[in-house]
Amino acid sequence: AFLVLRAPSEIEGTWKGSATLPCAYVPVGDFVQQTLMWTVVHDQTSGTIFRRDDSGNHVLLSEYRDRVSVPSNTPGNVSLHILNLEISDRGAYTCQVTWRASNNSLVTQEITTKLEVVKVPATKPVIRPGELGLRVPAGARASLTCVASGSPPISYRWFRSSPGGSAELLGSQAELAWDSLQPSDAGEYYCEAENR
């Protein structure tokens, strides 16, 4: 068997994240890739997203412009990479490759993968301490990093609990850092992670 396109039947992407729709074959010496086309069928619409031929790469559907790419320096890998996924990107994506044989005949194959786009809530965050850990000598640099996964963008907020149960908002970056820790910085800190 030669020139067999390989791709999974279905993949799942995260809303606002990126996805790669795999499509690959093992190159065979006598066959030269002539054209590559990626087409999509959505619920109501269909069209050609990407075409590669002698004249170069062309993104033909405006809603994918600046969001899609196909590797160009890895022979046999013609996977479609999509950035900033929208719910409307879900659909059936077909990778079609045409090769020219040494006797000038053409061989075409295609394979279809379904893309599902899901909204993923932010996970409960974990706190990662800096190199020195959670017991840090006074005067040292230190940091705490809040880490969560889910559909981007994820926003973070850091709090320090105060006596009497009130909480003081310290910052809205993933990392909370100190240049020179003071004894008064000792205490209980917590972070929140949130997405849409």
31 and 51 housed in the same domain: yes
Q: Are 49 and 68 in contact (CB under 8 A)?
A: yes
**pLDDT tens string 24-49:** 998 888 899 999 999 999 988 899 99
**pLDDT tens string 5-31:** 888 899 999 898 899 999 999 888 889
**pLDDT tens string 99-157:** 999 899 999 999 999 999 999 899 999 999 998 899 999 999 999 999 999 888 899 99
23 and 102 housed in the same domain: yes
Q: Are 117 and 13 in contact (CB under 8 A)?
A: yes
77 and 142 housed in the same domain: no
**Residue 65, CA distances (Å) to 83, 88, 119, 192 in order:** 10, 15, 22, 35
Question: Domain holding 105: CATH number?
Answer: 2.60.40.10
Q: Last residue of some domain: 88, 118, 148?
A: 118
Instruction: Report the distance separating Cα 79 and Cα 70, nearest Å.
Output: 6
pLDDT at 1: 40
pLDDT at 23: 94
pLDDT at 29: 82
Round the average pLDDT of the chain to a whole number and report it. Answer: 92
Containing structural domain, residue 105: 5-118
Supply φ then ψ for residue 173, to 5 degrees.
Answer: -110, 165
Q: Last residue of some domain: 118, 152, 171?
A: 118
pLDDT at 11: 94
Q: Please list, residue by residue across 131-146, b when 16 or more beta carbons sit within 10 angstroms of its beta carbon and e when fewer do.
A: eeeeebeeeeebebbb
22 and 82 housed in the same domain: yes
135 and 72 housed in the same domain: no
**pLDDT tens string 86-103:** 999 999 999 999 999 989
Grade residue 2 by pLDDT with cuts at 50, 70 and 90.
low
pTM above 0.85, yes or no: no
Q: Last residue of some domain: 89, 118, 147?
A: 118
pLDDT at 120: 86
